[in-house]
Structure 1
Amino acid sequence: MAVVLRMLVRRVLLLIPLLLGVILFVFIIMRFSTSKPEYAYFEGQNPTPQQIHQFQVSNGLLDPLPVRYVRFVGQLLHGDMGTSVLTHAPVLKSVTTALPLTLQLTFLGLLVAVVLAVIFGVTAALFRDRWPDQLIRVVSLVGVAAPGFWLALLMIQYLAVDQGWFPTSGYVNPADSFSGWLRSMALPALSLSLPVAAQLTRIIRTSMVEELDKDYVRTAIGSGLHPVVVVGRNVLRNALINPLTVLGLRVGYLLGGAVVTETIYSLPGMGQLMITAVKDGDPAVVQGVVLTIATGFVVVNLVVDVLYLLVNPRLRSAT
């Protein structure tokens, strides 16, 4: 446990310059954006050059870039992401309103992806080079190659429009109706999770095959242990160590993919918030959304690294 705590402290300290770099990257990218807050603020009006200059001065838009960056970091340390030039609402409030739905979608997508990957990955390894393995490998290859937005459109057409099993769009709050919430989130979570499930299936299958070929498996089965016990207690646990590291990167993909999926299914999450801000020319909101997703990606990978250390005793001993 002391080793885990030392690694956790070290990774948290390394997280600080990494987050500062992420903030700097997002900040610079938004400064080169064609969306100008002064024009978005006066949209539909006919402002004079003096009014535009006054807006730029009052909001610090004419200050040097390093000064604006330091001021922005200071605002973030105080929990201030800025203010929307259109709604005049704090960006943090908009983000905290939209973030829960994105987290719900990401969690459901992760859950579906892990369950499908474990089932099909283990099945393919146990039936290696037979027809179940060949079928699963072909289907997983198609899942890896298929774009998520294309799968989402197909599901809307066949499962929502043609069959009527699910709504085509919209969101139901779980506090109002849990079954309605599941129906509204089923297609988005499934279309988000299938590419990740296909990738994890191939990785789990490869790890399972490597573990099944090791001597301790043959020894355990030869000594009289039931193969189901050996696979469930030893092989599966050891085989899931490598996919766990890949899962951390895939969670970041799920967070980013949720932005596109929410737009397709008209879900009022971070995706809709960012797309609306991009169309309306509200860079403060875009900056807040991108920064939140990037920070979430970094934190998730930190958690996965700690979990990897906990489940891998050899790495813990080496550390």
Structure 2
Amino acid sequence: MLVFLRLALRRLAMLPVMVLGVTLLVFVVLQFSPADPAYNALGDGASEQARQAFAAANGLDDPLPVRYVRFLGDLLHGDLGLTVPPSGPVADRIATAFPLTLQLTLLGLAIAIVLALALGVTGALYRDRWPDQLTRVLSISGVAIPSFWLGIVLIQELALNRSLLPTGGYVNPADSLGGWLETMILPAVSLAIPVAAGLARLVRTAMVAELDRDYVRTATGNGLPRAVVIRGVLRNALVTPLTVLGLRVGYLLSGAVVIETIFDLPGMGKLILEGVTGGDVALVQGTVLTIAVVFLAVNVLVDLLVLLVNPRVRTV
């Protein structure tokens, strides 16, 4: 337990350093954006004198290190800047949009985990037989399918042709849980299929490797129930897929940007699209930074879970 706590604290101590690196990267990259915050705020018809006055008043012409330090100071106070007119706090827009993206990501992740375990375990238990061959075909096909294309196909087949589900929109789960599930299931499945297919192959490979170990043969030979053996094998085999799962969360978050646009969901994807098309540097900066920080936090959490479920990786 002491080793686990020491390693966990080490992982947590690295999180602020990684977040600082992400803020620097996002800030510097977006400073080279062709969009001028002064003209965005004043309008394209603003004179050069008005632009210079606005830039001087808001420190836009200060050296890059000075602007970055000021940005960090504002960030520590929860200030991500203002959107272009009509002006409003970027933090407020993110606070409204992020819960939807989080819901979509978690639902997609849950679907992906269930499918990956079902396909991967089935393939491992029926190795080189027809169920294994079928799961391989499904996994390869799922990896090859782009999530945005799958979303369009699902809309065409299940929403337009058969009218089973809505084509898009969003219903707050507090208003109607059933309505929320109806509007979220298609985008969540679109995100989950490629992730599930990739994880299923990892689960199958890890399960096969564990099933070939001596302790499994010994346990089976001593008459231990098959269900108990499989449960122990699955726990040991999930270390590698669990490690990769943190990276797949990043895929889900980035994929949600496109999927939310296809299904007309007012999440972070819509904010990024709005910021890019409107030249709103502050809005793009705030949304990208939020997604990046969440991605880092999830990966640290996954590292802690790996340490928890597998004592063999607890090396100092």
Measure how far apart 1:113 and its partner are. 0.3
Q: Aligned partners of 1:145 and 1:170: how far apart in 2?
A: 27
TM-score relative to the length of structure 2: 0.97
The residue aligned with 1:139 is 138
The residue aligned with 1:251 is 249
Paired residue secondary structure (1:135): helix
The residue aligned with 1:275 is 273
Q: Aligned partners of 2:188 and 2:18: how far apart in 1?
A: 30
Q: C-alpha offsets along residues 23-72 of structure 1, whole Å, 9 cap, x if unaligned?
A: 111011111111221222233x6212211111111111111111000100
Paired residue secondary structure (2:81): coil
Q: Aligned partners of 1:100 and 1:86: how far apart in 2?
A: 24
Identity %, equivalent residues: 59
Structure 1: which 5+ residue stretches go unaligned?
none
Q: Note the 1:202-221 alignment, pairs <5 A.
A: 202-221=201-220
Measure how far apart 1:2 and its partner are. 2.3
Measure how far apart 1:85 and its partner are. 2.2
Q: C-alpha offsets along residues 82-134 of structure 1, whole Å, 9 cap, x if unaligned?
A: 11122311111111111100000010000000000001100011111111111
Measure how far apart 1:199 and its partner are. 0.3
Q: Note the 1:1-319 alignment, pairs <5 A.
A: 1-43=1-43, 46-232=45-231, 234-316=232-314, 318-319=315-316
1:200–1:243 contact (8 Å) kept in structure 2: yes
Q: Aligned partners of 1:87 and 1:129: how far apart in 2?
A: 62
Paired residue secondary structure (1:80): coil
Q: Aligned partners of 1:116 and 1:46: how far apart in 2?
A: 55
What is the CA RMSD across the aligned residues, in angstroms? 1.1
Paired residue secondary structure (1:85): coil
Paired residue secondary structure (2:164): coil
Measure how far apart 1:249 and its partner are. 0.7
1:86–1:282 contact (8 Å) kept in structure 2: no
Q: C-alpha offsets along residues 185-224 of structure 1, whole Å, 9 cap, x if unaligned?
A: 0001000011000000000000010011111112111111
Measure how far apart 1:272 and its partner are. 0.4
Q: Aligned partners of 2:130 and 2:85: how far apart in 1?
A: 58
Q: Aligned partners of 1:207 and 1:56: how far apart in 2?
A: 57
Name the aligned partner's letter for residue 132 of structure 1: P
Measure how far apart 1:142 and its partner are. 1.2
Name the aligned partner's letter for residue 16 of structure 1: P
Q: Aligned partners of 1:127 and 1:174: how far apart in 2?
A: 40
Q: Aligned partners of 1:141 and 1:86: how far apart in 2?
A: 47
Measure how far apart 1:17 and its partner are. 2.2
Q: Aligned partners of 1:12 and 1:224: how far apart in 2?
A: 43
